[in-house]
């Protein structure tokens, strides 16, 4: 795939075109909008970057096979990648890097950025900070320094 093909696939296709490609791959029918020879060639050129396998829609991007998500699948994925305990409320850029390796949908970065910008925890705390330097307190001998963490009253469990 050359850079021109990559531009066509990544930038120009809108959700309606994705739906037409899915129907073509699944049913083998070229859409009525693409019946003229020039439009038919353009549609078939676009379609060769995709395939339909076991009820899933895939796209080839820069030599990688990625799953193309439908709109209803996007929000659960964003929730999992941003708000689950192991996710860490990452920035939009970092989430995009993680998600882009395996998934694709039109206007992907804008959706991720919008989701992160509406996250209350991320807005209050920001993402994980880098370069947090620890300053250990060295003890020269055993029991030279003793520390106690004091916690208020605890409920009986």
pTM value is 0.60
pLDDT for residue 4:
31
pLDDT for residue 9:
36
pLDDT tens across the length of the chain (157 residues): 333 333 233 344 667 777 888 888 888 888 777 778 888 888 888 888 888 888 888 888 888 888 988 888 899 999 998 888 777 778 889 899 999 889 988 889 999 999 988 888 877 777 556 666 777 888 888 888 877 777 778 788 7
Rounded to whole angstroms, the Cα distance separating 50 from 46 reads: 8
């Amino acid at each position: 795939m050359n850079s021109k093909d990559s531009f066509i696939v990544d930038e120009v296709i809108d959700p309606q075109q994705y739906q037409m490609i899915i129907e073509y791959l699944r049913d083998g029918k070229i859409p009525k909008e693409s019946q003229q020879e020039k439009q038919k060639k353009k549609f078939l050129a676009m379609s060769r970057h995709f395939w339909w396998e076991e009820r899933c829609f895939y796209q080839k991007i820069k030599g990688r096979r990625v799953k193309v998500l439908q709109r209803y699948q996007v929000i659960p994925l964003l929730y999992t990648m941003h708000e689950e305990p192991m996710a860490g409320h990452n920035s939009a850029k970092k989430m995009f890097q993680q998600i882009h390796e395996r998934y694709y949908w039109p206007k992907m970065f804008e959706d991720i950025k919008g989701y992160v910008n509406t996250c209350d925890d991320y807005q209050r705390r920001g993402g994980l900070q880098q370069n947090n330097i620890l300053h250990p307190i060295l003890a020269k001998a055993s029991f030279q320094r003793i520390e106690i963490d004091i916690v208020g009253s605890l409920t009986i469990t």
